[in-house]
Amino acid sequence: MVREQIHALSLKGLHDLSDLRFLLSLEDPDEIRYLAELASNVKNEHLSNKVHLRGLIEFSNLCSKDCLYCGIRKSNKKPLRFQLRQQEIIDAATFAFNNRYGSIVLQSGERSDREFTGFVCDVVRNIKSVTDGKLGITLSCGEQTRETYRNFFKAGAHRYLLRIETSDRELYSKLHPNNAHHSFETRLRCLEWLKETGYQVGTGVMVGLPFQTIDHLAADLLFIKSLDADMVGLGPYIEHSQTPLFKQREFLWPEQFRLSMTLKMIAILRIMMKDINIASATALQAIDGFGREKALKFGANIIMPSLTPKEHRKEYLLYEDKPCLDEDREECRACLEMRVKMVGDEIEYNSWGDSPHYTYRNL
Ligand code: SAH
């Protein structure tokens, strides 16, 4: 009976809050498995069983922001602050290129000073040049001016990730300091600028935040749809003891519940937005050793193996219990290949793995 209802909703298209609320509230394992099956079918039909890799280079934890949930927030004095040297980043990118990853993500804390934005442009240009323009580059460096986004684009970046974190203004204000440097409006404007610049734009949310409800998450799905995002990265919120939000931990959903809610979000999104790229977030693996593989089963098609030099990984803890801190690049590559095969998917090497959604949107 419920299965039929799930099936009917998936055919009807998911535009109503009440339908999304219903799907997010599923708790029976068989029903959740059925939702995953439908999402998997959509993925296979629109994207085949191909998984794309994005080598993740976390190149700096220097940050001017004080987001209340994040382990590398400015006021946290514990992490040793670092910025990789140009050559270290190029070496990591070259590893990705030589191992046929197809593309990389350059991620960092947020800075908007000229020294930083100029550095990012140089790095992007140099990576493009040493890889003959063949390595795809996604940036994830937070809020910037319209001009900076254009400069990054001109330098050769073609995708940008900026999670909205939550689409609810009020909840957003509970997760960030209330000042002009942490404004919901600015974040929205940045997403618009990214689109108009010509990037493939990615956004997403954290799932299981303090004060967050199923209604918030249902609204998040509609937000992502209305933004017409090309890529989505969403993952469970994981509390970090050196952040102010840690105080709210007793109000959190249990980790397994956050995990299963994240998986349901991914499956529903895949049914709603059939040809976008959906990342299987590393944070999933912090909760469950097979969290990322489960996300593939629920419709995700992107995995981001870490290429951050080992000695810096432990200083880039957005959340605690981050997995694979002491695995080197080579081990990580072999391990992933096996894991992806295990769920019946296949890594597509040497390809940018652009979101077909972006391609169609621009025809
Ligand atoms: N500074 C950049 C990118 C680094 S943060 C930016 O703000 O976009 C990348 C993502 O990590 C954030 O968007 C957030 O969704 C996620 N993140 C931060 N703290 C987290 C936590 N405690 N648990 C789970 N995800 C977290």
Read off the pLDDT of residues 54-111 as tens digits, 9 standing for 90 and up. Answer: 999 999 999 999 999 999 999 999 999 999 999 999 999 999 999 999 999 999 999 9
Q: Which residues pair with 202 in a beta bridge?
A: 161, 231
Distance of CA 35 to the CA centre of its chain: 22
Say how many Å lie between the CA of residue 271 and the centre of ligand 1.
Answer: 25
Predicted pLDDT at 109: 98
Q: Please give the structure tokens belonging to residue 26.
A: 């599923």
Q: Please give the structure tokens belonging to residue 241.
A: 């003891």
pLDDT digits (tens, 9 = 90+) for 142-189: 999 999 999 999 999 999 999 999 999 999 999 999 999 999 999 999
Taking CA atoms only, the protein residue closest to ligand 1 atom 1 is 109
What whole-number distance in Å separates Cα of residue 269 and Cα of residue 290? 20
Q: Which residues pair with 201 in a beta bridge?
A: 160
What whole-number distance in Å separates Cα of residue 40 and Cα of residue 199? 27
Q: Give the residues of the chain that fall short of pLDDT 70.
A: none
Whole-number Cα distances in Å, 295 to 1, 20, 68, 265, 329: 26, 19, 27, 10, 22
Written as one string, the DSSP assignment of 334-359 is: HHHHHHHHHTT-EE--S-----HHHH
The residue whose CB lies within 8 Å of the most ligand 1 atoms, and thus the one to mutate among 57, 62, 70, is 70
Ligand 1 pocket at CB < 6 A? 69-70, 107, 109-110, 140, 142, 162-163, 165, 206, 235, 237-238, 240, 283, 318-319
Predicted pLDDT at 362: 79
Taking CA atoms only, the protein residue closest to ligand 1 atom 16 is 318
SS (H, E, C) 75-143: CCCCCCCCECCHHHHHHHHHHHHHCCCCEEEEEECCCCCHHHHHHHHHHHHHHHHHCCCCCEEEEECCC
Predicted pLDDT at 150: 98
Q: Which residues pair with 52 in a beta bridge?
A: 302
Predicted pLDDT at 111: 98
Say how many Å lie between the CA of residue 283 and the centre of ligand 1.
Answer: 10
Q: Do 276 and 252 meet the contact criterion of CB atoms below 8 Å apart?
A: no
The residue whose CB lies within 8 Å of the most ligand 1 atoms, and thus the one to mutate among 68, 163, 171, is 163
Predicted pLDDT at 332: 84
Written as one string, the DSSP assignment of 275-305 is: TSEEEE-HHHHHH-TTHHHHHHHTT--EE--
Predicted pLDDT at 327: 81
Ligand 1 atom closest to 162 (CA): 8
